Structure 1
């Protein structure tokens, strides 16, 4: 191979490493150039060139003069971090009680967010138009470049069509083409970049796996209840598992109480209606009010579980139902970590020993190899997850995505 060919081959290798390198910095797994070199399996010079290219694109920062740790020897490696003045993506979340929009940078950092809004009407085009309008306002105020948009919805999203197959807790028609509508509204608002849509719990799991309580897990199970219903998601071998058509892990329709409440799916005693905020309020004998969301009412009530025996019994009842569902999932999926979000996170924090004991007692592997059960750690993790899918084209190929 002649000199020009050798140089060209090195250049192509370096360009091919841009995406993997950016993802390592984005997820915090390459805080220094030395770590980046080792993770990529390239020479120090190539790692330096890759980092410099990403810095020139405005995606990361390279600190060539980091302070050495006390007592350390040798020259400290250059520190790498995401550029907190770089481009952003628009992220949006729809839920039963309203919607929220935010701007999210690399590293899962929320740059700006608008207050939660309500109400979600039966017309998805109207709601998505409103959320994009709010997001466009955030972008104008920030002056930042936008490179994409992501939307989290409380429904299974069928692939490849991008339709909300069964949005039980918002009054949208089944099969609403949410991705198409969202993309149209994003383009009409003059917002740059492609638009993506996904199920809210799937996206929350993706965010937690990259930036939160799920980091380092190979087989991560996420179960959460937000404003209504119960959702689940699975990360397998480091990648979000959505099944053959985007519909995997509809855990809300596991039966945990055969004689329980009728479910919207036509069944009875599903996790969806036995372990969500409305179920908690009902178990505690409280009549839901219209003033604030069911989730907030449940959180406020949960704060009294130490002093109110009725609330304490309701907490135990929901924990037992949730634990039964989790045990069944452990038996089927054998995850190496479970993370819980929304009200489930707070039930775990209220009585972690009871939940872990129920799961261990009911699962085949519980007594010999208990699965760690942790609380989600990210604020607005579905929003951050919506941003993750919008960032993915840049993580895959920064040069191509930013040049388009």
Structure 2
């Protein structure tokens, strides 16, 4: 081996421990150039170059062959870095009260392909998960891309370490269904490569938004969202989900916001889960939920097209006030530096942002001292993207071990 090759190998050996951090920087858009990568990793330019070259050889990123200067930059031109659009993908799956969907998601949170969503969910979790995995396997066969693993998002707290769905309240599944085990079995049976993971849908939405969307850059990110039924919450601390001692943290749907309110599935009354979800909104607005489309889509459409109707506006304000009360309590307990809202809560924020922010500021200790930014989630299908993040995590941790 000649001297130049020896030096290159030595640089790469020194940089192997930086492969994962480097990939995560490119994956989350925080290292658009090799110069930024060098600074973020705290290594020499030569080592950063060797690391980038190794990630490119693994098919994960692309490095521009010719350096270019960023617009308005007066610094030295640097090679641009980007995820490889033709690189591996993760299989992502989501099940919710109104159906399920499968997708292929590449690095950078980029959705490569999606299968048409199913609108009925069997009471047998094995049947549902088999169907959604089959849909994902068909996508993989059509794409011809390598798969790094699979992730599943479910509308339930997922207990660790067993991966059981403790409270799939809005599905007809039995409590304690071993969803991770079933999902992993179906993934293996379909011949899909890589490990399989399962998580709560709002947790995964928060993870995706933190890495690729409205939560990017937050250190203490609180996400509260209502999907097709019910309300969920999640907290991302310093880039990692806070799931508690056994995966059950942030069950915010069972905060009481109306003591004499609707009975909740948990046995209480007036919980966020039943006071601020799509069914609560349609009921407050005097609308009979129809079977044609999901409750979430019916609620969004009502806000879009009939917000000037007195009953619709009154229902929206009622839900905003209750949501604001719940968020204020969470601000007092968690002291987040940013709040993001998804599902119907996102639509309510967009309908009357001043009202919601005023309620939170008025009812929370820290809100009065300057306010907590409250933003709308920005990613389409963020729970799917988050499910893919579970499958990508082993690659982000150690690309060579995962792919080599």
Q: TM-score, normalised by structure 2?
A: 0.97
Report what 1:279 is aligned to: 280
Equivalences for residues 185-264 of structure 1 within 5 A: 185-264=186-265
Report how far residue 306 of structure 1 moved.
3.5
The answer to whether structure 1 residue 91 and structure 2 residue 92 are counterparts is yes
Matched residues in 1 for 2:178 and 2:243: separation? Answer: 18
Residue of structure 2 equivalent to 1:376? 377
Alignment of 1:59-208 (within 5 A): 59-69=60-70, 72-73=73-74, 75-208=76-209
Whether contact under 8 Å (2:260, 2:270) holds in the other structure is: yes
Deviations 1:179-224 (A, max 9, x none): 0000000000000000000000000000000000000000000000
Q: Output the CA distance in 1 between the equivalents of 2:254 and 2:306.
A: 27
Cα displacement (A) at 1:113: 0.3
| 1: CA distance, partners of 2:399 / 2:70 | 32
CA contact (8 A) 1:304 1:311 kept: no
Which residue number in structure 1 is paired with residue 354 of structure 2? 353
Structure 2: stretches of 5+ with no match in the other structure: none
Contact 1:58 1:87 in 2 (8 A): yes
Distance 1:344 1:72 in 2: 40
CA distance in 2, matches of 1:270, 1:74: 55
Offset, 1:121: 1.0
Task: Verify the 8 A CA contact 1:305 1:315 in the aligned structure 2.
Answer: no
2:291 counterpart of 1:313: no
- In 1, Cα distance between the equivalents of 2:305 and 2:12? 62
Q: What is the deviation of 1:370?
A: 0.3
The separation in 2 between residues aligned to 1:274 and 1:200, in whole angstroms, is: 20
d(CA) in 2 for partners of 1:186, 1:262: 38
CA distance in 2, matches of 1:180, 1:218: 33
Q: Contact 2:264 / 2:273 at 8 angstroms: preserved in 1?
A: yes
Query: Residues of 1 paired with 2:343 and 2:71: CA distance?
Result: 41
Normalising by structure 1, we get a TM-score of 0.97
Q: Which moved more, 1:3-12 or 1:299-308?
A: 3-12
Change (3 A) 1:71 1:148: closer
Structure 1 contact 337–373 (Cα < 8 Å) conserved: yes
Two-structure CA RMSD over aligned residues (Å): 1.6
Number of the residue aligned with 1:289: 290
Q: Secondary structure at the match of 1:51?
A: helix
- Look up the SS of the partner of 2:94 in the other structure: strand
CA distance, structure 2, for counterparts of residue 96 and residue 72 of structure 1: 50
> Contact 1:252–1:271 (CA<8 Å) still a contact in 2?
yes
* Structure 1 residues without counterparts, runs of 5 or longer: none
What is the CA deviation profile of residues 19-63 of structure 1, one whole-angstrom value per residue up to 9, with x for unaligned ones? Answer: 000000000000000000000000000000000000000000000
* Alpha-carbon distance between aligned partners in 1 of 2:225 and 2:370, rounded to the nearest angstrom: 23
Deviation of the 1:6 alpha carbon? 9.4
Q: 1:174 to 1:25 in 2, by over 3 A?
A: same
